[in-house]
Amino acid sequence: MHSRSVSFISFAGVLILAIACSGDNPAGPDAPSQLNSSGAPLSSTIKSDVASAAGNAIATNLESLLANQAAAVGSFTVFAPSFDGETSSSTPPSSAPAEQPNCTAGSQPGVYLCVKQPGPGDHLKCTYSDEKKLYLCVKQEEPAPPASNPPSGEPQPTPAPSPSNPESCSFNADALVYSCAKSVEGKSVVKSYQFLDASGQAMEKFVRGTTESIRYRVQSDGTETQDNHTSASHSLRYVTVSGFLGPNRVWNGFGSSADTTSYKEDLSTRKYTGLSVDTLKAVTFVDERTTHPYPLSGVAVRVVDYTVVSTGKQVETTTVHKRVVVTFNGTADVPISLGDYSCVLHLDTHKVDGCK
């Protein structure tokens, strides 16, 4: 069982080296003090840009982590129902599909355990478990009958809007790893996750009172347009949320991304290209987030290494290496700092202001 957990993090060494090389410390002098089109020193503008971009990335990443946790804990039974015949007390078992005597209903509606693989007419998507010697099947929506064409000359009905792309998931029963992919609104995400008990052994599903943590590998590619800037990012992150046996949920992890961000201001532009390395250190939430929606404590660190090309009256190129630190305090308004340059990050709006 231990080898399953090791294989899940086999790529993590690459990012560990990246973090080690970053030193997690600022290096090099600040940017030259040339002016932008508004008359402000470019070095000050760069600090503001980096704080704004890093704050938005950290707030967005935080929301993604919570969404991933909710999805994993809330949907695990769909892909790994109980094999011992138990059913959930809150959800009645569903009926087995017609003419499928080799299938038994799982603990969730539309989930079945089958000795033999069902035929295509039953609209079941199945994965075979070598360990259980059974097919794990999930009921698929039956295709809608073709629409009849109205007689010629009659008005055509307005087509229904296309549904948003759902998340597609699968379960590797041998490695005990769930994999999901989703692509929507200019962003694609591919994630894998694994449930672990208190001893670090992989589990086939989330079990309250036994599962202690969830380990994630998340790869995302996306673009974003906000206000006066556009950005593109390609990231890979390894994070773990632990504490399911207690009252708090604690996030730790690291990752890296290749970033491109462009700002347009009056007649000038600034384009940032380069790499960033992210670290989460003991970012702690209360399990019941209704009254405490924001992290009580912990820090998020982003080390950026960018090349900046500024255009205006003339073209200027400089390099930027900054260490951005966000310290969580249980509220939506948290301090974000770049050395002696400090601001306020609003986790609810992702905005950064109050810089000095």
**Residue 80's pLDDT is what?**
39
pLDDT at 130: 65
187 vs 168: CA distance, rounded Å: 15
As a whole number of angstroms, the distance between CA 40 and CA 163 comes to 47
Helix and strand totals (H; E) in the chain: 3, 17
CA distance 197 to 99: 39
Q: Is the pLDDT of residue 111 over 70?
A: no
Percent of the chain clearing pLDDT 70 (strictly above): 69
Query: What is the pLDDT, as a whole number, of residue 247?
Result: 95
Residues 6+ apart with CB under 8 A from 93: 87, 105, 106, 107
Predicted pLDDT at 37:
41
Q: What are phi and psi of 21, to 5 degrees?
A: -70, -30
Pairing state between β 202-203 and 297-311? unpaired
- Tokens read off for 223: 């673009």
Q: Is the pLDDT reported for residue 96 higher than 70?
A: no
Q: Give the tens place of pLDDT for each residue, 39-83.
A: 456 788 999 999 999 999 999 999 999 999 998 887 554 333 333
Could you count the other beta carbons within 10 Å of the beta carbon of residue 196?
21
Q: Give the range among 72-81, 245-254, 343-352 with minimum mean pLDDT.
A: 72-81
- Return phi, psi of residue 53, to 5°: -65, -45
pLDDT of residue 115: 75
**Which one is predicted more confidently, 312 or 330?**
330
Choose between 213 and 4: higher pLDDT.
Answer: 213
Residue 34: the pLDDT is 42
pLDDT of 215 > 60? The answer is yes
How many CB atoms neighbour CB 37 within 10 A? 14
pLDDT digits (tens, 9 = 90+) for 5-17: 545 554 444 444 4
Per-residue pLDDT tens for 226-244? 878 899 999 999 999 999 9
CB 280 within 8 A of CB 242: no
